[in-house]
Amino acid sequence: MSLESGVVLRLEGVRKTYSVSADADGKRVEVLSGVSLELNSGDLIAVTGPSGSGKTTLLNIVGGLDIPDSGEVVFKGRGLSGLSDDELAAYRNSEVGFVFQEHALLPQCDVLENVLLPCLASSSRRSVGLDVEGRAMMLLERVGLARLAGRFPSTLSGGERQRVAVARALINCPALILADEPTGALDRSNSDNLAGLLRDVVSENGAALILATHSERLASRMDGRLRLWDGRLEEDNDSVA
C-alpha cells in the first residue's frame, strides 16, 4: 500500500506468546493471536480491554520495544523487522511518541530538561527546528505546567509528572503517538484537557494515535474504538454514559 494512501501503520497477523512457567518446556499463553490493524494519518484509536488482555504488549510491539513471535509491523511502508538496531532506535526516538503508564522521568533533571530529552539526538533536533526549548515551553503551557519548568520530579504530584511525560512524548512532532493509560493519575478536568491536547496534536501534525485505556470517558473522545479480547482486536461499540 502506498504512502499516498495516508497509511502510517499496518499490523499484519501479529502474534505474541509469553511463558507462565520458569521451566523451558512450561506453559505458554498467547497474548496476541494474529492481530491486524491499519492506521491512517489523523486517526485516533482507543484500545480497551481488561487488565492483562495485552494492550501494553500491543503498544510495545508497535513502538519497537518488543518483537512479535510472528507477523509484521509496517511503518510508512517499511517493516520494523528489516530495520537495523540504529534505525530502530531512530524510529523509537524520532517517529514515535510514548506515554507510558509510569511516567519514567529522570529524577536528576528538571521538568524542562525531561521534556527535552528526546531532542538530544541531532536528527530529532532537525525534525522540530532549532527552537526546541520554545516548543518544550509551549507544550508545558498546554498541559498547564510552564510555571514548574525548573522544578524536579520529586516535587511534583503524580498527575503533574504524567503531564510532563505527555509533553515529552510530543516534543519531536511524532508521526505515531502511543499512549498507555495516560490519564490514570489525572483528575477529570486534566484528563479532558489531555484528550483535547492529543486531538489537537494529531490534527496539527497529521499524526496517528493509539491509546490504551480502561476509561470509558477517554475512549469516547477518540474517533474509533477497538477492544482487545482473547488476543484479538474487535470493534468496540459500547455506549458511554
Strand partners, 74: 10, 79
| 1-9 mean pLDDT | 63
- Residue 224: per-residue pLDDT: 93
241 found inside a domain: no
More confident residue, 192 or 150: 150
| DSSP helix, strand, coil percent of the chain (3-state; round to 5) | 40, 25, 35
Residue type, 111: V
pLDDT band at 140 (very low <50, low <70, confident <90, very high): very high
pLDDT at 1: 32
Closest CA to 30 of 60, 70, 66, 72: 70
Rounded distance between C-alpha atoms, residue 49 and residue 54, angstroms? 8
pTM of the model: 0.87
Question: Which SS3 state, helix, strand or coil, does residue 17 take?
Answer: strand
Q: Is residue 139 part of a domain?
A: yes
Q: Which domain CATH number covers 98? A: 3.40.50.300
- Residue 66 domain boundaries: 3-20+29-235
What's the average model confidence in pLDDT over 159-181?
A: 92
C-alpha cell at 140: 508545558
Residue 42 resides in a domain: yes
**pLDDT class for 128, splitting at 50, 70, 90?**
low
